[in-house]
Each structure stands twice: as structure tokens, then as C-alpha cells.
């Protein structure tokens, strides 16, 4: 190899190194210059999908780039989490997820190929979903106090659930109220609805996204909502705390997450955009229609909120007697 060639090679290597140094900075400055993908663990058309698409539509006009929703349902959301954990931390792959996945899954599964806390950075949170404690419209029970008194007397009372949040929030109520029930699992909401309406189940905590409409139509009787504040879609229904269960707060909340290692300037940009969307009156109306409450946390706030919740989830998974898989 002669001298000239060697020199050319040095220059070339130098150039490559220079590009490598400059590229990330450039990428941050003109971020986003290509479509952003938002992964969610729910199927197209589901309640979570509708919620996500409202926010991605708004993000799209702020980012001036297409924001595409990738529905990766399955394995209680773990497939979506895995996809984002493995993605390049360049701000073009984001995760929208509920706290049940980020806090709950840690204790429900043993061998997840990712760590829900270490592998993700919260960007901002945007909504809380009020779950609703319901009984049959034929039921003589009219308040949480009635229900607690009834359950303390009844042997073998039945409570239903269709998802983890329902299951664990029921467990939480049982713990705080000091009652016992036999939990009944349902895969499909309509089956559970039938059994609660017919009075086969004594009570159930359901997702307010569709539950609120049924309560307003009189198909179900609501005793309380699980959030700390009343839900705008059911303003007459008290919170659990108001109904006498002190300290009860169980509010599934949604936030945007990026894979660990995403550059701070990109995270800041995204956080700003999301925090601009939440205060819009349009957003408040949308959330109210869908049984949700705005929740405007910055990234670090969401991070702190999540970490503070961990012990609660851990103890509830234990209380529900779920063996981690």
C-alpha cells in the first residue's frame, strides 16, 4: 500500500468520524424529519386506540411530520413494550402505554425481555381513565357503604373482572374495606355485562370508557369512580374516597414513553407538544366523551408518579394471589 493511498484512507476515516460526531446533533436539530411511529399494545378500534389516535393526530400537526400508530396487540401489551424497548432511541419510535403495563407487568411476569422502568423514559402523561364500581340496576345496594356492609355478611360473594386493572382495583377495595369475594374472570366484556346486569355477580369494577355510557342509560348502577377526582362524564357519581374508602385511589393513566437513551432535546420537544395538546378545550371534551380525565404531567413528574406507585402494584398482585409467570 503506497503513501498516497494511506493518506486518502486517513482522510476518509477522518471524514467518517466527523460525520459520526456531527450527525447526532444534526439529527436532534432537525428532528423530526421522518414519520414518527407510536406503538400501542391494543388493537385498532379499541378504546385505547381511539384515545391514542386523538393525541397522535394533534402531534402530527405540531411535529409537521406524519405520526403513525402501530397497533401491536397481544400478551397484555408486552409485545408493544418489547418492540419499543428494542427500537433505536432516536425519537422516531414511541410508546403510548397505561401504568398497568409499566408498573403492573413487573410483578405479573418473571422473564420479560425488558425492564419497564430501566428501558423506558416517560415523556409526558396526558389522560386518566376513571374506572367505575357498578352493581346490577336491580340491586338494592345504593352506596359503597351498603355494598361493604352487604359483603361483610354474605358468604361467597362474587366479583367479576375483564382485565388486570379491574382485577387489581377490586383487590384494593377488598383490602381497604376488609371484605372477601371470589373473583370471576371474563375474557369478553359482554359476558361480564350480562352476569352483572342479571345480578349473578355482586359487583364489578369496569373501564369507564364504555361503562360510563351504560351507567347513563340506566343499564348499570354506579356506586363510585376509582379516581381521586370525580369523572366529568359521570359528575354525580362520588369517588371511592368520598364514599368512605379512605386513601383509595386507583387511576389508570396514559403516558408517552421513549426507549432509554433517546436524546434529551428530542424528549423535550415531544414533551412540549404533548403538554400543548392536553389543555385544549377540545381535548377536555374528547376525554369527557370517552370517560377520561386530563392529566398533564411532565416527563419527570410521570416518572416520579410511576415509581411511587410500584409498591402498591406489588402488594396488590400479591394480594390477588397471582403467581408471576
Partner 1 sequence: MDTGFGDLIHGFGVALQWQNLVYCLIGVLAGNLVGVLPGMGVLSAISILLPLTYGMPPVGAVLMLAGLAYGAQYGGAICSILLNLPCHPPHAVTCLDGFPLTKQGKGGTALGITMMGAVFGAAFGIIQMIFTAPYIARIAFSFGSAEICSLMLLGLLAGSTLAKGSPLKGVAMTILGLLLGLVGQDANTGVERFTFGIIDLDDGVELVALSLGLFGIAEFLRGVNNTAPIDTAYAKLGVSDMRPSRADMKRAAFPILRGTLIGSLCSMIPGTGPTIASFVAYAAEKKISKTPERFGHGAIEGVAAPESSTHSSVQGDFIPTMSLGIPGDAVMALLLGALIIHGVQPGPRLIIEHADIFWGLIASFWIGNLMLIFLNVPMIGIWVKMLMVPYRFLFPSALFFICIGVFAAKNTLFDVGTTLFFGLFGYLLLLLRFEPAPILLGFVLGPRFEENFRRALVIAHGDLNTFVERPISAVFLALCLLLVGTQVWVRLRGPKTRIPTTLLETE
Q: Between 45 and 300, whose beta carbon lies closer to partner 1?
A: 45
Minimum CB separation from partner 1 for residue 161, in Å? 10
Q: Between 150 and 210, whose beta carbon lies closer to partner 1?
A: 210
8 Å CB contact between 250 and 163:
no
Minimum CB separation from partner 1 for residue 185, in Å? 5
Residues lying near partner 1 in the complex (CB under 8 A) are found at 43-45, 70-76, 78-79, 82, 108, 111-113, 156, 158, 182, 184-188, 190-191, 194-195, 198, 200, 322-323, 325
Q: Between 41 and 299, whose beta carbon lies closer to partner 1?
A: 41
Minimum CB separation from partner 1 for residue 270, in Å? 22
Q: CB-based contacts of 75: which residues, under 8 Å, 6+ apart?
A: 41
Minimum CB separation from partner 1 for residue 194, in Å? 7
| CA gap 273, 308 in Å, rounded | 25
Minimum CB separation from partner 1 for residue 156, in Å? 5
Q: Between 42 and 126, whose beta carbon lies closer to partner 1?
A: 42
| CA gap 22, 172 in Å, rounded | 52
Which three three-digit cell numbers place residue 93?
419510535
Which three three-digit cell numbers place residue 240?
371511592
- Which residue, among 142, 79, 132, 72, has the nearest Cα to 105 in the 3D structure? 79
8 Å CB contact between 96 and 38:
yes
The whole-angstrom distance between residue 240's C-alpha and the CA centroid of its chain comes to 20
Minimum CB separation from partner 1 for residue 188, in Å? 5
Minimum CB separation from partner 1 for residue 112, in Å? 8
Q: Between 13 and 44, whose beta carbon lies closer to partner 1?
A: 44
Q: Between 101 and 239, whose beta carbon lies closer to partner 1?
A: 101
8 Å CB contact between 69 and 53:
yes
- Which residue, among 201, 208, 179, 198, has the nearest Cα to 319 in the 3D structure? 179
> Distances from the Cα of 201 to the Cαs of 161, 166, 211, 213, 310, in angstroms?
10, 14, 16, 20, 30
Segment (H or E) for 282: helix 281-289
Q: Between 76 and 315, whose beta carbon lies closer to partner 1?
A: 76
| Burial of 172: CB neighbours in 10 Å, binned 0-12, 13-18, 19+ | buried
Q: Between 190 and 281, whose beta carbon lies closer to partner 1?
A: 190
Minimum CB separation from partner 1 for residue 285, in Å? 25
- For residue 179, the 8-state DSSP code is -
Amino acid at each position: 500500500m503506497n503513501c498516497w493511498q494511506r493518506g486518502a484512507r486517513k482522510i476518509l476515516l477522518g471524514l467518517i468520524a466527523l460525520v459520526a460526531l456531527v450527525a447526532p446533533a444534526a439529527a436532534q436539530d432537525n428532528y423530526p424529519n421522518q414519520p414518527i411511529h407510536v406503538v400501542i399494545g391494543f388493537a385498532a378500534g379499541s378504546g385505547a386506540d381511539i384515545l391514542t389516535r386523538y393525541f397522535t393526530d394533534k402531534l402530527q400537526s405540531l411535529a409537521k411530520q406524519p405520526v403513525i400508530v402501530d397497533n401491536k396487540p397481544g400478551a397484555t401489551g408486552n409485545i408493544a413494550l418489547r418492540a419499543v424497548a428494542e427500537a433505536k432511541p432516536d425519537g422516531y419510535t414511541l410508546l403510548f402505554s397505561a401504568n398497568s403495563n409499566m408498573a403492573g407487568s413487573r410483578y405479573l411476569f418473571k422473564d420479560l425481555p425488558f425492564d419497564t422502568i430501566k428501558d423506558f423514559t416517560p415523556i409526558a402523561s396526558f389522560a386518566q381513565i376513571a374506572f367505575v364500581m357498578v352493581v346490577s340496576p336491580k340491586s338494592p345496594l345504593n352506596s359503597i357503604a351498603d355494598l361493604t356492609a352487604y359483603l361483610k355478611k354474605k358468604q361467597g360473594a362474587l366479583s367479576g373482572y375483564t382485565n388486570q386493572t379491574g382485577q387489581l382495583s377490586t383487590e384494593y377495595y377488598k383490602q381497604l374495606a376488609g371484605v372477601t369475594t371470589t373473583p370471576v374472570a371474563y375474557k369478553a366484556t359482554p359476558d361480564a355485562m350480562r352476569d352483572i346486569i342479571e345480578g349473578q355477580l355482586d359487583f364489578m369494577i369496569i373501564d369507564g370508557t364504555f361503562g360510563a355510557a351504560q351507567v347513563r342509560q340506566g343499564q348499570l348502577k354506579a356506586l363510585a369512580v376509582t379516581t381521586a377526582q370525580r369523572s366529568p362524564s359521570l359528575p354525580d357519581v362520588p369517588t371511592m374516597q368520598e364514599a368512605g374508602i379512605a386513601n383509595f385511589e386507583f387511576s389508570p393513566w396514559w403516558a408517552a414513553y421513549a426507549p432509554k437513551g433517546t436524546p434529551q432535546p428530542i424528549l423535550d420537544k415531544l414533551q412540549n407538544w404533548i403538554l400543548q395538546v392536553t389543555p385544549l378545550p377540545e381535548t377536555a371534551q374528547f376525554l369527557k366523551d370517552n370517560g377520561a380525565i386530563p392529566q398533564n404531567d411532565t416527563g419527570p413528574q410521570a416518572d416520579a408518579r410511576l415509581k411511587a406507585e410500584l409498591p402498591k402494584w406489588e402488594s396488590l398482585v400479591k394480594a390477588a394471589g397471582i403467581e408471576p409467570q
